[in-house]
Amino acid sequence: MDQETLSAYDAKAASFAQDWHDKPAPSDLHAVVKRYFQPGATADIGCGSGREVAWLAAEGFAATGYDASSGLLQQARARYPQLSFAFAALPELKGIADGSFDNVLCETVIMHLPQAQIAPAVARMLEILKPGGIFYLSWRVAQGADQRDGQRRLYAAFDAAVVTSLLSDILFEEDAVSASSGKTVHRVVARKQA
């Protein structure tokens, strides 16, 4: 994980959490998940303050949220004490066993990684999926060169092929304006080969 990005999330975790929870629900994300995810254990990688873990649990998925920010995990646990959250950082995701999940969700997280870590992070998320499992991945699209916002968060600019070349069974792919953030995101859903 990019250290400046992680420091920003840790330093202002309560503010980021409030901002995310004040935004409209990501109905477009929810529609894609309902269409493709299968019943079973589901990981939200980069879960932030837990909003999507709570939604997944309400939809009947056995969901666990993972994040590299201790500040955001504290926010998630305070908001949803009945749900499961744990520390894990991309690209390694140490402590998560291979083949643990039927579904993996990673919503607008990988653009915070240095470009050299993006492919290893995607490969690792595929490893924690069971054979035949479903992988949802999205990232905010950055044009041109890597950028940092006013909070010093990294937004890596990379070609989608860095990700899609690692996926063998792509079920869905699009560029769209997020219903929650209003930013352009690239989404892809793939099935891990059995």
Note the pLDDT tens digit of each residue in 176-194: 988 778 889 999 999 999 8
Note the pLDDT tens digit of each residue in 116-168: 999 999 999 999 999 999 999 999 998 889 999 999 999 999 999 999 999 99
Other CB atoms within 10 A of residue 171 CB:
15
- Output the six-digit token pair for 176: 């769209």
CA distances to 105, 109, 146, 161 from 45, rounded to whole Å, are: 6, 8, 22, 21
Note the pLDDT tens digit of each residue in 57-103: 999 999 999 999 999 999 999 999 999 999 999 999 999 999 999 99
Annotated domain spans of the chain:
3-191
**Edge-first strand listing for the sheet containing 62-67:** 84-87, 62-67, 41-45, 101-106, 129-140, 184-191, 169-177
Q: Which amino acid is residue 63, in one-letter code?
A: A
What is the pTM assigned to this prediction? 0.96
What CATH superfamily classification does 3-191 receive? Vaccinia Virus protein VP39 (3.40.50.150)
The pLDDT, as a whole number, for residue 181 is 81
